[in-house]
Structure formats: C-alpha cells, structure tokens
Amino acid sequence: MEEHSYTVTHPMAAEPGITITERRCRVCGCTDDNACWDPVANHPCYWIEDDLCSACVAPHVARIPVFKCDDSLWQMLADRSKTFDMRKCDLTDSRIMRLAGRPPFLTVEAVSFKNKATDEVLTFAYKGMEYASWAPGWCFLILGEQVT
C-alpha cells in the first residue's frame, strides 16, 4: 500500500507540525475520514484493497474476496479434499468483515483463493462463516461448489 503523508500543525500541538500517514484510495483519493459514496452499495465506500475503495472498483469487476494461499492448500481445495478454510478472525481485514456480513458490506456469494506459487485462482460459492469454541480467534469459511 502506498501511503500518503502530509504535515499539519494542530493548534494544541506541543511542537509545530506532525506527520500523519493515512490510507488513501489510489483512484479518487478518499480516506477513512473522508469517504466517498459507493453507488452500488448505496452507502459510504469501504476498502476493497489497501489502496482501493469500493466506489472505484470498475462496475464489471466482481467484488469477490481473494485470499493468497500456499500450494498445498490450493491443491486440497482444487481436488475438493478440503471444503473449508480456516482464517484468523481479524475484523480489521475488510475481506473477513465482508464475509462475516458486517454492515455496511454487501452479501458475498463467492470467495477466491490465489496460489502463491503459480498465481492460479480458484473461486468457490461462499456458504458462510462458522466459529468453534476450541479455536478462539479463528473462523472457518465454508465453501460450496467451484464456480467459474
């Protein structure tokens, strides 16, 4: 993520000028504090990538969360010997927030996995997220059939 910094002087600052680094959309320039309007979702934008907001995603691009994975996991998903993926339940990760169905995010119908070794991508119908008491802090992404 390319971050943009700028210097400001707050009237109450002990020293003149502090550097602030903020997340900024590479297309429209919106920030966490100054979101633009997402016409598809009909609410303020949210982060699709580290430096791309939901309003600036091309209309024809599917908003499918993509997770990078090792070749071994990718192979198990490809041959359907594994029909779920276990992920750290990090609610600062917009992909996890979207999959959890937290507002203001839209319903997610599919999830993709990108092989780190080959860059091949598999996409599956997304069936939901489950939690287990024996794995605190982790969530299980339940996968349906492979989609194209």
Instruction: List pLDDT tens digits, range 63-72.
Output: 678 899 999 9
pLDDT tens across 68-103, in order?
Answer: 999 999 999 999 999 999 999 987 787 887 788 765
CA dist list (Å): 144 to 61, 85, 107, 124, 134 = 21, 11, 15, 6, 24
Residues 91, 136, single domain; the answer is yes
Widest pairwise Cα distance in the chain: 61
Residue pair 48/94 in contact (Cβ under 8 Å)? The answer is: yes
133, 73: one domain:
yes
Same domain, 53 and 70: no
- The CA distance from 37 to 114, in Å, is 29
Average pLDDT, the chain: 80
Same domain, 99 and 126: yes
What average pLDDT does range 41-65 have in this prediction? 74
Same domain membership, residue 48 and residue 68: no
* pLDDT of residue 28 exceeding 90: no
Residues 101 and 29 in one domain: no
Task: Look up the CATH number of the domain holding residue 114.
Answer: 2.30.130.30
Q: 7 with 38, same domain? A: yes
